[in-house]
Amino acid sequence: MKTAFITGVTGQDGAYLAQFLLGKGYRVVGLLRRSASSDQLGERLRWLGILNEIETMDGDILDIASLMRILQSVRPDEIYNLAAQSFVATSWQQPILTASATGLGPVYLLEAVRILGLPARFYQASSSEMFGKVQAPLQSETTPFHPRSPYAVAKLHGHWATVNYRESFGLHASSGILFNHESPLRGIEFVTRKITDGVARISLGLSQALALGNLEAARDWGHARDYVKAMWLMLQQDQPDDYVVATGRSATIREFCRLAFAVAGLNYEDHVVLNPAFLRPAEVDYLRGDATKARVRLGWAPETSLEALVEEMVAADLARLRG
Ligand code: NDP
Ligand code: GDP
């Protein structure tokens, strides 16, 4: 039985990845940071019905001693570093925390692996936000980066640290440059989930309007359940490498609104209001990924259309609120 160690196991991707790995017969150990609101921890794992199937160990990505203690006792075959301050808007409010958790976190983990001399394979959760002010209409592994937020700057550090540990020390370390991926387990502050939750509230008469920022930004949205498979596939390769994971289809926030409100038989123009508070100091206007390398080398392809994703998210939010 293989053992996987997941940081960020309580997040959207961590929960789906844990579910996927359990399905493959893995022992799954997740990093859990202490919280005073511990009753809410593990909500996503509970939603997927796997909270009691994984093991958790106390620690923090910023505390290398805790990482070394855990790695020494767990001795995982595979390490997935998903822990991060992952919300772009917050990264302008807390740039130093973001630089620490998102940018230095991967280094603590890589350094722990190196010092302990573990043969574990390592996955780093990199992001399409690193392309930022895009240098090509379709972004691939060879497109130059131009980060537009403290989050993206920090992710670039994690990405290059992963490449550097691979090149310097021969670690089996891969970086997945994942484009936006969503699900019913997406954090409520992200625009997709904010919209589907808003649609559900309006449709149930709990609210009248939904305040958003820039509707013209475009994202390449996939389903988190599809994307965690790509993470695993990267670690099954003989050689570590970097891969873009994307659908190749880009849609605006406006289009996402149109689709989501339509699921509930509503017209978004009757309910969406603009609030400048949700505009960002610097915007990533357009992302569209070219996942040819992942398709050819990993045999990976997205399985969920944008329409199916939107429907699943609206249905889940309606069910939650009715419940
Ligand atoms: P989430 O925000 O849902 O989850 C983030 C996870 O990181 C949570 O489990 C959180 O724990 C944990 N975490 C944060 N700070 C620390 C810390 N100091 N120590 C230990 N754990 C910590 O993110 P997603 O699941 O959506 O994303 C997973 C990873 O992939 C992130 O690194 C994200 O930046 C990256 N990514 C995501 C994309 C997306 O579209 N979803 C796109 C590209 C990259 P807690 O529950 O305690 O807060
Ligand atoms: P990101 O791509 O990681 O920043 O994911 P988000 O879901 O947070 O944002 C995606 C896009 O939606 C960005 O271009 C935002 O500017 C835009 N957006 C517009 N209105 C909102 C809003 O109310 N909340 C969020 N989070 N994003 C918004």
26: confidence class by pLDDT, cuts 50, 70, 90: very high
How many angstroms is it from 86 CA to the middle of ligand 1? 5
What's residue 72's pLDDT? 98
Average of pLDDT values for 80-94? 98
pLDDT of residue 40: 78
pLDDT in tens, 219-255: 999 999 999 999 999 999 999 999 999 999 999 999 9
Nearest ligand 1 atom to alpha carbon 100: 18
How close is the Cα of 126 to the center of ligand 1, in Å? 11
Asked if the domains at 3-181+222-245 and 187-219+250-287+305-322 fall in one CATH topology, the answer is: no
Distance of CA 135 from the midpoint of ligand 1 (Å): 26
Separation between Cα atoms, residue 210 and residue 264, nearest integer Å: 14
Burial class of residue 311 (count of CB atoms within 10 Å of its CB; 0-12, 13-18, 19+): middle
The pLDDT of residue 232 is 99
At a CB cut-off of 8 Å and minimum separation 6, what does 314 contact? Answer: 196, 199, 200, 260, 263, 264
Q: Is 0.95 topped by the overall pTM?
A: yes
Residue 39 has pLDDT above 90, yes or no: no
Residues 248-298 have pLDDT tens digits of: 999 999 999 999 999 999 999 999 999 999 999 999 999 999 999 999 999
Taking only the tens place, the pLDDT of each residue in 303-314 is 999 999 999 999
Assign domain 3-181+222-245 one CATH number from 3.40.50.300, 3.40.50.720, 3.20.20.70, 3.40.190.10: 3.40.50.720
Q: Quick one: what percent of the chain has pLDDT higher than 90?
A: 97
Closest CA to 183 of 51, 321, 15, 29: 15
Catalytic residue of the set 86, 91, 126, 127: 127
pLDDT band with cut points at 50, 70 and 90 for residue 156: very high
All structural domains of the chain with their residue ranges:
3-181+222-245, 187-219+250-287+305-322
**Which top CATH class is 187-219+250-287+305-322?**
alpha beta
